[in-house]
Amino acid sequence: MPARHCRMMDLMEPSEPSEVVRALWNRIQDRDWVGVGELVAEHAVIDWPASRERITGRGNFVAVNREYPEGWSIHVLRVVAEDNQVVSEVEVPHSGLGTFRVASFWTVMENRIVRGTEYWTTLGADEAPQWRSRYVERY
């Protein structure tokens, strides 16, 4: 779906937790930093366990995303929700750094993200142990 069409859909306030998360990724793709901030609670906490970082507050979350070096795009692979818990899987190709994947676990309250845990990885970065080679195939 073209970014402009996605943004037009986002002009309406998202009313379901899954819509909030889809709107978040659409607005990040569009570099709509004001719009991103509208979806994140003022005191939200987002953890990145792989690097042991915690982002505290809406302003810091927006800044981390806004200041990341350009060359990336967002491709939402899936969003799964139950009540106020939402999981998203997103691919982020970057022209200079390779392709990233993120599995994100969000808590949405009153149409705002209040908590998140994101597991970022670079595709193919983890070397497969030799002992598994007879059970798996590489793709």
Q: What proportion of the chain, given as a percentage, has pLDDT over 90?
A: 85
pLDDT digits (tens, 9 = 90+) for 46-61: 999 999 999 999 999 9
Q: pLDDT confidence of 10, banded at 50, 70, 90?
A: very low
pLDDT digits (tens, 9 = 90+) for 108-122: 999 999 999 999 999
**Model confidence, pTM:** 0.88
Element (H, E) at 139: none
C-alpha distances out from residue 20 to 35, 52, 116, 134, Å:
11, 25, 13, 42
Q: How far apart are CA 74 and CA 59, in angstroms?
A: 21
Does pLDDT of 12 surpass 80? Answer: no
- pLDDT, averaged across the chain: 92
In degrees and rounded to multiples of 5, residue 87 shows phi and psi of: -115, 135
Element (H, E) at 70: none
Q: Identify the bridge partners of residue 116 per DSSP, sorted by sequence position.
A: 46, 106
Determine whether domain 3-126 maps to CATH 3.40.50.1110.
no
pLDDT digits (tens, 9 = 90+) for 80-119: 999 999 999 999 999 999 999 999 999 999 999 999 999 9
Q: Are 14 and 23 in contact (CB under 8 A)?
A: yes
